[in-house]
Structure formats: structure tokens, C-alpha cells
Structure 1
Amino acid sequence: MTQLKFNHHLLQQEVRFGTGDAAKNVKEAVEALGATRPFLIASEREEELAQKVTNGLELAAEFNDVVMHVPVEKAEEARKAAADAQADVLISIGGGSTTGLAKAVALTSGLPIIAVPTTYAGSEATAVWGMTENRTKTTGTDPQVLPKVVVYDSELLSTLPNDMTIASGLNAMAHCVDTLWAPKADPINRSHALEGARLLRDGLAELQETGSTQAREKTLAGCYLAALSFSSAGSGLHHKICHVLGGTFNLPHAETHAIVLPNVLRFNAAAGERAHVDRLAEVFGTDDAVTGLEALYDAIGAPRHLAAIGFREADIPEAVERIVAAAPKDNPVKVTAENITELLKNAL
């Protein structure tokens, strides 16, 4: 019997969770950090919401030019704006792209981040940063970019369009599934992943039926556990594929993750590592994990086809070349040009 050995790193982060408490929690977090010159990062789409959340704070400056996949040039603009404003804390209010831009600023400035998510992206719970240059997305891990405080408020997600709710929630589910076979997977992050998947399954299904505050809270809690698991386990095959599709072909982040996920689960489940697959099947309440995930997709009307978000068959060869080069060497199924081509054709 193989002896159990692993090293698990715990992240230092405060989580403030409360419906209707975002403005109060952000103000208290700024004060606790001893900051006096907060720099707000929020897209134009989130501007009205951001003003409500930062009500009562005197902002040093604001930056709203948020672009998907964090182009390097936008990161440089935001870094300069924060430096010019003599900011001493970053407040990001928005989805994964907004959090990602705040991380890009923190990476070079060391400024602490207070992250206020308005989607189920999960970036706020990880020390992973990502930026895109010359059609290539580069990612890395640095404790400096981990938000010091995360403020969760389900009220902020009450107006999130249904299609984005579904895609964003399944992006979080992808963190859970990818963790099972990730390079640094261990019993602790797998436990987070499985409980996160259960909360996401229940929350997403209930959101379609009731749209209740309780369903949003359940989904947010699942989102955090999912991201926590991913943060310590690292990027598995699923995330490597999606980073290529997003960075190189500029596909929308959440939708790409949602569409690719069932294909990667089916791909890795074929390896026969029954322990992981069976535990995930238990979460879905089915005999088979792939069947369980597919049933959830059917129930919530999940996106299915890469062609619907701009990917073309002609893009497959370049995508395959990049994915094979980036794929984890210890993935349970050996990654080849042939089987990745088949996976992308199925997802197309």
C-alpha cells in the first residue's frame, strides 16, 4: 500500500460573507488595513454597483478600462494610474477580468486587494495571475496577488443575467473537477473540491427554479471552495485547454470553461481512476460522474458548443499544438495531438 505523503499550503485571506453587507464590509476592510487612498477597479458596466459598494469611502482614483484576459497594455495603464494616485489599497468590484486586472497591479506594486466578486469566477480566492500578450496567455502564482480580503454579498449577483450565472457557476465547477487530477492534488483540496461541487450543483439547480437569496448564497459558498481547491492543486488539463482557447482565440472566459468541462471530464474519466470519478458521481447522485454532470447541464440549460462563441474548425490545429505543449505531464490520460483534436471537435 502506498504511503500517504503531501505538502499542503494554506492561504492567508479574510472572507467576509453576508447578503446586503458589501458596503459595510468593504469600509471595515479598508479601515482594518489602515488604508486612506483606495483605488477602485470596476468596469463601466459595474459602475453604478461599484458606487453603492464604495459609498462612504473617499477614493483616490478609479479605473474602468477592464478587458477580458487582461492584456498586458491594460495592466500597464492600470499600474500607472494607481501609482499616480498614490494608492495604498486596491478595491476590485466585478468578475474575473476585474479581479485579474487588480492582481496585475498588485503583482508589481505589492498593494493589497479587497476583492468584491459580482460573478462566480473564483479568481478572488487564488494567488494565480494571468495576462495576455501576442495571443498568448501567461499565468503564474504569487502570494502577493492573493486578495487580502474577499467580500461576498449575494445581493450583488441578483441582477447577473441567467446565461452568465450558468456559465460563471460552471466555471467554478470546472475548478472542482480539474482539482481531482491537478498536479498538486491532495486529500485536503480534493475535499474542498467535492464539497464545492455539491454546493454548486444544488445552488445552480435551485437558482433556475427559485432564483432565491439562499440559492445564490449556496452557489457563492461553492464558488469559494472550488477556487480554494484549485488554488492549492494547480492547473490541470482543463485549465490549460481553456487558457489557450481564451488567450489565443479571445473566447469568453466563463463560457469556454463551461463548454470544455464535460469533454475533459469524459477524457480523464477514461483513465479508470475510479476513486475520483466515484466520489464525484456521489456528489451528483448518479452512478457515473459524466452522466451526473451531463444531467446538471441539461437541467440548467448550459452552453455546449465552442462554435457558438467564435471558435472555428480551422482554429483546431493551432489550438492542439499549443495545448499539447502546455498540458500537465502527469495527466491520467496521456495527451496527444490526436486525442486533443478529437476532444476539441466534440466541443466544437
Structure 2
Amino acid sequence: MSFQSEFGYTALPMRVRFGIDVLGQLRSHIAELGIERAIVVCTPEQRTVAESVLARLDDRGAGIFDRAEMHVPVEVADDAVRFAVDRGADACVVVGGGSSVGLGKAIALQHRMPIIAIPTTYAGSEMTPVWGSTRDGHKQTGSSPSVLPALVLYDPGLTTTLPAELSAASGMNAMAHAVEALYAPDASPIISLMAEEGIRAFAEALPRVVTDPQNIDHRTRALYGAWLCGASLGATTMSLHHKLCHAIGGSLNLPHAQTHAIVLPYSMAYNESSAPAAQAAVRRALHTDTSAAVALWELTQSLPIPHALTQIGMTASDIDTVVEQALRNPYSNPREVTEEGLRGLLQDALAGRRPTVSDLRTESAR
């Protein structure tokens, strides 16, 4: 493993508490942060968990907003901000995965209030300053320290009810954060170590979580991976994979985690020959001598998730829209992003076929 002799690293200003039943410490943490009234944000499916969280807040709870959705529609965000203002809230407790955390970030961005995140999936967005919202089918993303949670409570016990299929998709989504962090232009040795360990943790935990969802040891290992992968993304710049998945999800309203899980092997294949250090790290984490992209694809094939974009609703006629959005704004990537390359990537992901690593010398003959 070669040493990266020149780099920068900025530690993000947030606290993490990890362990079984750390949720029981919620009210003391709320008081320590000086919070008087907090709303709880969740999806409709997480309403029961949100009610238990609200009960733990006791007199510091200000109600539940349970309308979080994928890709954070601006209309929902505006309603959530009004709810927070009407309830006199000075903080937001988000319960759930990326949809809930994303809505909490939208509230914080507009209303400047601290977030306490309680993840129940492996999305990892609670560890990043990245926010996103969707208006008229177009997803906009940005980065601001104001949306970083003041506190994240990782309680593995809260993930045992996450169905095996969603656990697998959510875990692969998180793994994509770490893969892109490995070839990010602002990577550092610390982040690369975290990213590789996060991929390793998920590769070991996900097949076991699928076969034994109630096993707290497997759930703890997976949640540990989610923390590492999310932190890796939070400290680096997103590249092709995330930009492409945002274009697919925002324009077609497809499920976020499943989109990332399907696309990841193909975005890795696109970049693999231009990111040898990242490929080596992924291979070490997956304990394989084969291509990193192929190893990721083989892992996805072993999990109960969709394996092709057609299985979640994308069609060949959607490729033009996605390519246009993905090319609209330039972004960093280890390999040049071209229309031809994107079309080839999307055609492979659409069909779910075994990825092949592009040889840049012969790409024009593809």
C-alpha cells in the first residue's frame, strides 16, 4: 500500500455515541445541548419508533412530523419548517434513514436549528454536511456545516426490525460512499483507512444480516460500517457514482438505496483503470484477487436486492434524461466523464449484466 505523502484533512465538528441502548441517554444529551423543545422527524413507516423517541424527550418534545420522503421534495421541506416554527421548536430529532435525515437537514438549512440523528438504516447521511432537495424532478445538492448533526446516536438495537432486503440495499448504498471516498481528489490516509474498513465491515456483515436479521452482533458490525462509510463521504468530494445516482433518483423518482446498490459495480468498473489505489483497497476489503468492480457485483448478486435498473422502473428511454443531467455540471472524477462512457455504463446497469472494466485504449471501439 503506497503512502499518500501530501493531503489535507478537516475533522467534522460533531459527536457520536455508539452502543446498545444509547437511545436511553437521549434526554440527558438534549439537556446537555441546551435544547428546550425538539420536534421528531420521520417517515410514515417510522411513526412507531418516533413515538417512543418523543416519549423519551418528555417535556422537551414538541411533536412529530412524519411526512419525510425520498429525495426531499421542497414542498415537504417547506411544510416541515412551518411545523417546527408553529411548535416553537429549537431542535430537530431525526429518526430513520436518508429520507428522514435529509428532511432534517432541509429544516436546519432554512431554520438554523441543531439536528440530533438516530439512524435506523445504514444510509450514512447523518455523518455528512451534504444536503439535497428535489423540485420539479430535478435534484439539487449542496454542502453546508449548518446541516451537520450536533449528535448522532447509533443504537444497533433500532436496526433489527429493518427487513433483510432493505438492510442489504441500505448497506450497499453506504458502501458506495466509501468506494468514492477512496478515489476522491481530497482523500487522505485517515479517510482511506476508514473507507476500507467500512467496506470490509459491510462485506462481512450484510450476508449474515440477511440470513439472521435479529442477531445483534451482525447488526452492530453493519452499523459500525455505516458510521465509517458515512464519515468517509462526509470528509470527501462526491464523484461520478453519486452524481449519476442523484440524476437517476431525482429525475425518475426511483428508490434511493436500491439505485445506489445497482449502479455501484458499474461506476467502479468505469473508474477502476483510472483509480488503481482505490481498486486495491476494495480488493483487500473484499478479500479477493479479482477486479474490484466484479467483486462488488458478485456481492450484490448474493443479496436479496434488485440487480438491474429495469427492476426498479428505469427504461432505455430514460437514458437520455439521465445522461443530460449527469453531464450538466462538471465534477471531479478520476476518469473523464463522457456521454459515450455514461451511456455504456447505464446500458450495463439497466440490464444488470456482469461489469467489464474499461480499457481506455480501446474504449472508442466499444
Q: For the superposition of Structure 1 and Structure 2, which TM-score range results when normalised by the shorter chain?
A: over 0.9
Tell which deviates more after alignment, 74-83 or 200-209. 200-209
3-state secondary structure, aligned to 1:184:
coil
1:43 paired to 2:43: yes
Trace 1:44-83 onto structure 2 (pairs within 5 A): 44-56=44-56, 57-58=58-59, 59-83=61-85
The AA in structure 2 aligned to 1:63 is F
Corresponding residue of 2:328 = 325
Corresponding residue of 2:161 = 159
Q: Deviations over 1:22-58 (max 9, x none)?
A: 1x12212211111121111122211111122332323
3-state secondary structure, aligned to 1:321:
helix
Contact 2:4 2:188 in 1 (8 A): no
- For 1:322 and 1:295, how far apart are their aligned partners in 2? 29
Corresponding residue of 2:229 = 226
Structure 1 gaps of 5+ residues are: none
Contact 1:208 1:300 in 2 (8 A): yes
1:19 paired to 2:20: yes
Instruction: Extract structure 1 runs of 4+ deviating beyond 3 A.
Output: none
Corresponding residue of 1:347 = 349
Q: What percentage of residue pairs aligned between the two structures are identical?
A: 39
Deviation at 1:86, TM superposition (A): 1.2
The AA in structure 1 aligned to 2:160 is S
Corresponding residue of 1:285 = 287
- For 2:49 and 2:72, how far apart are their aligned partners in 1? 21
1:196 paired to 2:198: yes
Corresponding residue of 1:138 = 140
Q: Deviations over 1:147-191 (max 9, x none)?
A: 011111111111111111110000001001111222322222111
Contact 1:29 1:114 in 2 (8 A): no
- For 2:152 and 2:282, how far apart are their aligned partners in 1? 28
3-state secondary structure, aligned to 1:275:
helix
1:313 paired to 2:313: no
Alignment root-mean-square deviation, CA: 1.6
3-state secondary structure, aligned to 1:39:
strand
3-state secondary structure, aligned to 2:168:
helix
The AA in structure 1 aligned to 2:44 is E
Corresponding residue of 1:241 = 244
Q: Deviations over 1:294-338 (max 9, x none)?
A: 23223323421111111111010111111122352x422211111
Corresponding residue of 2:360 = none
3-state secondary structure, aligned to 2:81:
helix
- For 1:270 and 1:6, how far apart are their aligned partners in 2? 22
Deviation at 1:2, TM superposition (A): 11
- For 1:102 and 1:50, how far apart are their aligned partners in 2? 14
The AA in structure 2 aligned to 1:311 is M
1:9 paired to 2:10: yes
- For 1:70 and 1:2, how far apart are their aligned partners in 2? 40
- For 2:54 and 2:86, how far apart are their aligned partners in 1? 20
Q: Deviations over 1:68-107 (max 9, x none)?
A: 1001111111111111111011111111111100100101
- For 2:303 and 2:313, how far apart are their aligned partners in 1? 22
Evaluate the alpha carbon distance shift between residue 129 and residue 3 of structure 1 in structure 2; reply closer, same or farther with a 3 A threshold. Answer: closer
The counterpart of 2:267, out of the listed 264, 287, 298, is 264
- For 1:175 and 1:126, how far apart are their aligned partners in 2? 10
Corresponding residue of 1:213 = 216
- For 2:177 and 2:120, how far apart are their aligned partners in 1? 18
Tell which deviates more after alignment, 114-123 or 178-187. 178-187
The AA in structure 1 aligned to 2:112 is G
- For 2:68 and 2:212, how far apart are their aligned partners in 1? 32
The AA in structure 1 aligned to 2:342 is I
Contact 1:316 1:341 in 2 (8 A): yes
Aligned length: 345
- For 1:210 and 1:78, how far apart are their aligned partners in 2? 37
3-state secondary structure, aligned to 1:139:
strand
Q: Deviations over 1:268-312 (max 9, x none)?
A: 1132x3222112101111112223212322332342111111111
Contact 2:261 2:300 in 1 (8 A): no
Corresponding residue of 2:354 = none
- For 1:327 and 1:194, how far apart are their aligned partners in 2? 27
Tell which deviates more after alignment, 3-12 or 235-244. 3-12
Deviation at 1:217, TM superposition (A): 0.6
Structure 2 gaps of 5+ residues are: 351-366
Contact 1:205 1:299 in 2 (8 A): yes
The counterpart of 1:129, out of the listed 112, 128, 131, is 131
The AA in structure 2 aligned to 1:170 is M
The AA in structure 2 aligned to 1:188 is I
How does the TM-score come out when normalised to structure 1?
Answer: 0.95
- For 1:156 and 1:346, how far apart are their aligned partners in 2? 36
